[in-house]
Structure 1
Amino acid sequence: MGLLLRTERLEISPLAEADLEAFVAYRRDPDVARYQSWTPDYTQTDARSLLAAQPSTTLPVPGDWVQLALHPVGLSQGMTLIGDVAIGTDPVQPDTYELGVTLAPAHHGQDFAREALAAILEALFAAHGAHRIVMQGDARNEAVLRLLRRLGLRHEGAVLEGDWFKGEWTTLERFALLRREWQERR
């Protein structure tokens, strides 16, 4: 599977040097960083290190991740980075991936995250033969939990106060979709 996808409203491609200013800007937003693995002190150096470590044309090797940039299609919006989707390859289980999504605040509530994730689910299952795709979200992040349900991921359970995260115990909600479930939906 190549890492270039296009939907009705988005071009999805590996994060590039030209994306880093916008990428750092939304990662520095405290509301965006709240449920993410980084903190609002995210820097250009952090972003350059992430960019240098990721593959640019293929899925990551087991245990690694790739960030795919989300750019709106259309003359009025240009090629401004509006968010990203992370794809991680499970370090142990074959054909198993984890996804994560982040959008700049100005683009929340416009269905871009669902559109991007639906395209990536389709590509992973159809073009790459994924067996299982998982996602998880902080139980307090109701918007993400609604998104995962709208995408048709199955709720597998909660890890109740099982994650020490940013100085507090948090609950993670786990979701997954199997290839056969995806095929049945089609």
Structure 2
Amino acid sequence: MQYTNAAYIAQTRCWLENVVLKHNLCPFAHKPFQGGQIRYVVTDSARPEFLLEDLQRELEHLRATPAEEVETTLLIHPGALEDFLDYNDFLDVVDALLAEEGYEGEFQVASFHPDYQFADTRPNDAENYTNRSPWPMLHLIREHSLEQAIASHPDVDAIPAHNIQTMNALGAEHHRKVLESCLQSGTETE
């Protein structure tokens, strides 16, 4: 099924609200979400090289836009890198782009994918859902803002353990159903 860009964004927002924010997986996400400072961009790029161009355009957009307007960007790419192993390999290319184009120290990119799997976990382990999103996605983060958020957080080192505990307590089946429910958001088709 081919969705509209509005549907991809609605599905992503549903996931953000019902997983990331609801379970406080990223305590730094609440402020930009509530302030309307998250930019949602859907790309129709189907090839990694075109996605890389889209990523660079979004990094430039973020660089040119004050944080008060756009704090962070979610680059949703439903037609590219649908296979998690290919997606995971692409993250090395993303890191190289950040270094080559002078974005290191200014931006970092977090990764989310419907089939996300951490090293040393099984595919169906609930903790993988901390990074499982409805669609493959790159999250562009301002380093300065992240540093400020970390400085004001009482125990940053406890966040990963909290997330794993939360995901495991709810179980993989719960998370699968939430993602499935989010995929029903904005189901108008093109």
- Return the TM-score normalized by structure 2: 0.29
Structure with bigger helix share is 2
- Return the TM-score normalized by structure 1: 0.29
Structure with bigger strand share is 1
More relative contact order, 1 or 2 (CA 8 Å, 6+ apart):
2
